[in-house]
Chains A and B, each alone.
Chain A
Amino acid sequence: MATPRRVVVADDDLLVREGVASLLSGAGYEVTGRAGDATALIDVIRDSVPDLAVIDIRMPPTHTWEGLDAARAIRADFPEVGILLLSAFVEVETAIDLLQSGDRIGYLLKDRIMKVADVVDALERIADGGSVVDPGLVQALVAQRRRGDRLAELTAREREVLALMAEGRSNIGIADRLFITEGAVEKHVRSILSKLGLPAAEDSHRRVLAVLTFLGAS
């Protein structure tokens, strides 16, 4: 990286906060601020206007959804800041809510921060304009049993592609993952969208929303 990306970290737990910050520093990011609650987070964002913010959903005072509300406020006032939300539970409604507020948003299960590669992958995709949805949530949604399930019409390969679409990966990203060509990915995507009755979306962000909405409406 030529100039390190600038990140702020918000988590109410001192050890976790410092742990994440030191992990990101080690991975080449510049940690420009730390916050233990939503109010302090908005302050450090205003002070340093970073490229990215890593935010825990549960923070004081109520330990419920402060991080989510802070993310919305940041999106409104500092639209240039990419946001990665961490949460002990990932839920499809929250994912859809978040993605509806725009692109460059990520939503990961908090455990993932113990894998530095996954965090860096997510942060880089967000910084590059993409969206990130936790693969665990996507797996659960794809694996869910439904009555009259249209997913049953997909081939095994198409299911893999669908899951990667739902995680927010671009066609190139999917091609890299599955070791196939971008053209082959495009073909699969068209087939999937037509089998599921979804409109063709011009960008990957809209596509994530459409796919998640389909999977979430059980």
Chain B
Amino acid sequence: MHASSERLGRLAGEQAAARRVAGLLASGAPAAELFAAVVQEVVDVLDVPRGWMFRYEPDRSVLVLASLNDPGFPVGCRIPLDGPSVAAMIHDTGRPARIDDYAGLPGSIARRASEAGVREAFGVPITVDGRTWGMIGVGPTEERPLPADTEARLSGFTELVASAIASTESRDRLRRLADWQASLRQVATLVAEGAPMAELFAVAAERIVGVLDVSAMAVFRFDPNRTATVVTSVNAPRFPIGSQWPLDGPSLSAEVFATGRAARIDDYSELAGTIAAGVRGSGLGSSVGLPIIVDGRVWGMSCVGTTGDDPLPAGVETELHDFVELFAIAISNAESRDRLRRLAVQQAALRRVATRVAEGAAPAELFAVVAREVARVLDVSSASVVRFEADNTSVVVASFNDPGFPVGSRWPHDGPSLNATVFQTGRSARIDNYPALPGPVAAAAGVSGVEFGVGVPIAVDGEVWGMVAVGRRRRREELPDVAVSSGRLVLATESTREIESRLSAFTEIVATAISKAQTLDDLRQLAAEQAALRHVATLVAAAAPPDEIFAAVVDEVAQILGLEGIELVRFGADGTATVIGASGDHPFPAGSGWRLGDPSIMTAVFRTGEPARVDDYNELPGTIASAARSAGFRSAIGAPIVVGGRTWGVIVAFSSLPGTYPERSETRLNEFTELIATAVSNATARADLVASRARIVTAGDEARRRLERNLHDGTQQRLIALGLDLQRLRSTLPADQRAVHAGLENAERDLGSVLEEVRELSRGLHPAQLSRRGLGPSLRALSHKSPIPVDIEVDVEPRPPESIETAVYYIVSEAITNAIKHSHASAISVTVARNDAVVHAAIADDGIGGAAPEDGSGLMGLNDRVEALGGRFALDSPRDQGTTISIALPITLASGPPRRPDIAV
């Protein structure tokens, strides 16, 4: 009896101590004060002379958070765990630990303990979210030994401290998560709207600095000459937009450029190089950079830095990653748009030239038009048309903005020059650095201010007649500051190969005009080809499904080339090829698969990435050749489809004659492959964007679920404990203190209504019973609260993934709320059903109708949510005839989108 009342008394004492700490906790006292209070209470409760609280640091040391009666362990001091100690044992085992005698033990803690006269110590872990966060320790003496059940009695305090830390940490995390998601969503919306790149980067950089724990942010674009250009920067004064930096190391840029992977540098103070100096000059320290990978190539780098001495937190890479992915999608989109625009400009220019040819323009005038259009289309500084003479010289017949090469001037082919190379080889040529070359042509290029040039031959009736040449100034001049505002700065510079392929379209017209005998025929052909290209380009620009585009390409190519056997093939990762489009009746039907390896066009293009031809299938072994023979084909030509630097597929044209094709067949194929590549890259970017938006929505739902749990397990429990306290307090009051009784009763009532509010709030965040009971019961529980009768019919067996259930629940909940607010209906009906791949839901009311997504009724948000999950949203709301909202959500996509989905073909 006596022992039990003593136990009760002690328990009451501990309860009181725990409540005092909980009170401090609830009042939001500073952490230091809270920790000191906990140690004080622990020391009082256990009646021992000394106590400590430590936090474990990542570098295997402890930080002293609180210390009572022990000068050896001052608050704020960091001590390495370098020898045996209670702190080290708890750190390693996660369990309570004891040291009976520190005397003679090695290590920092033991030394300090011995110096302070501490012999014995005991400690218990503070466990937060499953990890050993810190410890509380006490130092008994012989006069004041530890009670037997010390461990059990300490656990109440460690639980309290852990719950305080967990709730602070989770509050911080949730707030940051919410900000981060809002920012991501804003950037994703800008990407979806096709906002100018400069604006996108500026907004994203501001938001990133706002929501991530970083001081500065910059985006670099990698340029061909091992430099990087700043395209956006915030709080990095030495890295203004447009500034160029050599990729010298050690630096984030150099490392990301070299490896294509994320990089981190925590200490710049000792590093050499211009970038490191710039980082120091900007007052920055620890930095992290992530590659921006666009269509398989490392386009640039996105990096963040901090001004403090501490390294950036470990999770920064992950948080930055989703932004960087959006950048890549946006850049890919912008590049696609730009390719289409350039193509359109080029088509128009070609048409103007063709028109002049058709009108019978004099050759000199025609050449001048070609030079001017070429200069305009290719965005080069100068252009000229040159005729090769029999005496091994060339004569300039047209010159645009090219004063070094006036019309009529004659040039010998003896020094290194485009003229000489094109003349001798009959193929395209390139000069990267005129000023470094000797000879009169190089000197004339200097007069034109040209350092870089490309020449493409004009072949007339099989002979090299002359060439079209273009020149550019140095590349750095191509990146003026004004380009930033136009949004063009971010685009990749045109490759030499692209220039050549575009130029060749013009040289062909010139050749056509020159070859009088064929002029009219070829022009008709050209017109047909242009029309075909326009048709396909229109489909690409309208984002038609890839299947439709492939079919159109196959048909148009078959007509233009006059060949019955055309096939469009996609290469698989596993060394196979699949026919995704075919014209006519032949052995390579759409959908058929072929193993690469046997000699064939497919195999050759797959291996080399270059156009290929087979002159006679009779001479080839293997299944593909024999299939071709069996269909009566003798020869074929093929052109690669290159997407993002990778050989994505091939288009093949078969002929029933050995080695004969219409003229320029390969070039014509090439023009179509470019359009196919653009279509494929567009579709991939769109799929990426859908997946990214879905991830953001799902992450938001998950955050709401956690927030609900936090409210429940933290706030509600604490309020209830407080209510119990009030009640106990009231029960101990003498009955005659009526006023105090009444006051306490009031407080209890108020507390009850606060609890109800919290309950409603947390129910709105996430329905607790959804995961256990599914959509039907959860939606019915929702309908219990509705002032308008709600009929609910749910048939979704087997249950869809939780993310889909959550999405449907929110959508129906929002739609019902909307109907209650705006519809004036007398009844609402909800039906939810599923098939293999799709969940359908309809929410209908018999109210006033006339709802529109624009009127701020929440319908816009519903629409956004459904579309972000790859679903469809439909609103039917004729005036006075009720409102029906129908949605369809794909089950596969939202339940776990692959990070880079392949487009379906």
Contact = CB atoms under 8 A, between A and B. Distances in A.
Nearest to B774: A93
Given A19-B721, A88-B768, A94-B769, A114 B727 contact: yes
A63 B159 contact: no
Contact of B717 (A13, A93, A146): A13
Given A89-B763, A140-B785, A218-B784, A114 B751 contact: yes
Q: What DSSP secondary structure best describes chain A's contact surface?
A: helix
Interface residues of B, number: 50
B773 A14 contact: no
Of A22, A26, A149, A216, which is in contact with the most chain B CB atoms at under 10 Å from its CB? A22
Nearest to A136: B756
B780 A218 contact: yes
B759 A113 contact: no
A64 interface: yes
A89 B783 CA distance: 15
Contacts of B755: 111
A15 B784 contact: no
Contact of B721 (A13, A141, A147): A13
Interface in A41-96: 58, 63-65, 88-89, 91-94
B725 interface: yes
Contact of A15 (B718, B762, B827): B718
Contacts of B160: 14
A23 interface: yes
A140 B785 CA distance: 7
B153 to A, nearest CB: 12
B787 A145 contact: yes
A172 interface: no
Contact of A140 (B712, B731, B784, B792): B784
Interface string A106-141: 000011011010000000000000000000000011
Given A20-B724, A110-B720, A144 B15 contact: no
A23 B773 contact: no
Nearest to B758: A88
B787 A116 contact: no
Interface in B781-817: 781, 783-792
Given A14-B159, A114-B751, A145-B789, A65 B772 contact: yes
Nearest to A26: B731
A145 B781 CA distance: 13
Nearest to A23: B724
Contact of A145 (B751, B756, B763, B786): B786
A38 to B, nearest CB: 15
Interface of A: 12-16, 18-20, 22-23, 26, 58, 63-65, 88-89, 91-94, 110-111, 113-114, 116, 140-141, 144-147, 149, 216, 218
Interface of B: 11, 15, 18-19, 22, 156, 159-160, 709, 712-713, 716-718, 720-721, 723-728, 731, 748, 751-752, 755-756, 759, 762-763, 768-769, 771-773, 777, 780-781, 783-792, 827
Sorted nearest first, the 10 A-B pairs with minimum C-beta distance are A19-B724, A15-B721, A114-B723, A13-B717, A147-B789, A145-B789, A93-B777, A16-B721, A111-B755, A144-B784
15 contacts: A19-B721, A19-B728, A23-B727, A63-B712, A88-B762, A88-B768, A89-B763, A92-B781, A114-B724, A114-B726, A140-B785, A144-B786, A147-B827, A218-B783, A218-B792
Given A18-B15, A63-B713, A147-B789, 16 more contacts: A13-B717, A15-B717, A15-B724, A20-B724, A22-B724, A23-B724, A88-B716, A89-B759, A92-B784, A93-B769, A93-B773, A94-B769, A111-B759, A114-B724, A114-B752, A149-B789
